[in-house]
Amino acid sequence: MRKKVKAITIEKHCDGKVTVLSFARPEVRNALSWRMVTEFKAALNAIDKDNQCRAVVITGAGESFCAGLDLVDQGNRQSLSEAVGELGDGPRAGMRGQEYMAEMILLMRAIQQPIIAAVNGHAYGGGLGIALGCDIRMAAKSAKFCTQFIRLGVSGCDIGVSYTLPKLIGAARAHDMMMTARVIDVELAEQWGLVTYVVEDEQLEQQAIELAVSLCEFSPYGLISTKQGMWSNLDASSLAAAMQLENRNQILNGLGGDVEEAAAAFFEKRKANFDR
- Burial environment of residue 208 by CB neighbours within 10 A (0 to 12, 13 to 18, 19 or more): buried
Ranges within 225-244 binding a copy of itself (CB under 8 A): 225-227, 229-230, 233-240, 242-243
- Residue 20: phi and psi, rounded to 5, are -105, 120
The yes or no reply on residue 143 touching a copy of itself (CB under 8 A) is no
Work out the angle between the directed axes of helices 77-84 and 91-110 (0-180°, nearest 10).
Answer: 60
Nearer to a copy of itself, 24 or 249 (CB): 249
Stretch 209-228: interaction string toward a copy of itself, x if CB under 8 A? --x--xx--xx--xx-xxx-
Ranges within 155-184 binding a copy of itself (CB under 8 A): 155-164, 166-176, 178-180
The yes or no reply on residue 113 touching a copy of itself (CB under 8 A) is no
Q: List C-alpha distances in Å: 53 to 113, 137, 158, 189.
A: 7, 19, 30, 29
The yes or no reply on residue 135 touching a copy of itself (CB under 8 A) is yes
The yes or no reply on residue 275 touching a copy of itself (CB under 8 A) is no
Ranges within 241-260 binding a copy of itself (CB under 8 A): 242-243, 245-251, 253-254, 258-260
DSSP letter for each residue of 197-266: EEE-GGGHHHHHHHHHHHHTTS-HHHHHHHHHHHHHGGG-SSHHHHHHHHHHHHHHHGGGSHHHHHHHHH
The yes or no reply on residue 123 touching a copy of itself (CB under 8 A) is no
Ranges within 6-65 binding a copy of itself (CB under 8 A): none
What sign does the dihedral 32-37-38-42 (CA atoms) show?
positive
Nearer to a copy of itself, 38 or 98 (CB): 98
The yes or no reply on residue 268 touching a copy of itself (CB under 8 A) is no
According to DSSP, the residues that pair with 55 across neighbouring strands are 18
Nearer to a copy of itself, 39 or 258 (CB): 258
User: Which of these segments, 10-18, 19-27, 29-37, 135-143, binds a copy of itself (CB under 8 A)?
Assistant: 135-143
Nearer to a copy of itself, 46 or 150 (CB): 150
**Beta strands across the sheet bearing 136-140:** 8-13, 18-23, 55-60, 115-119, 136-140, 197-199
According to CB under 8 A, which one of 45, 52, 154, 185 is a site residue for a copy of itself? Answer: 154
According to CB under 8 A, which one of 99, 187, 200, 275 is a site residue for a copy of itself? Answer: 99
Say how far apart CA 253 and CA 225 lie, in whole Å.
8
Nearer to a copy of itself, 24 or 198 (CB): 198
According to CB under 8 A, which one of 9, 52, 78, 196 is a site residue for a copy of itself? Answer: 196
CB 69 within 8 A of CB 30: no
Nearer to a copy of itself, 135 or 205 (CB): 135
The yes or no reply on residue 112 touching a copy of itself (CB under 8 A) is no
Say how far apart CA 161 and CA 166 lie, in whole Å.
8
Say how far apart CA 23 and CA 60 lie, in whole Å.
5
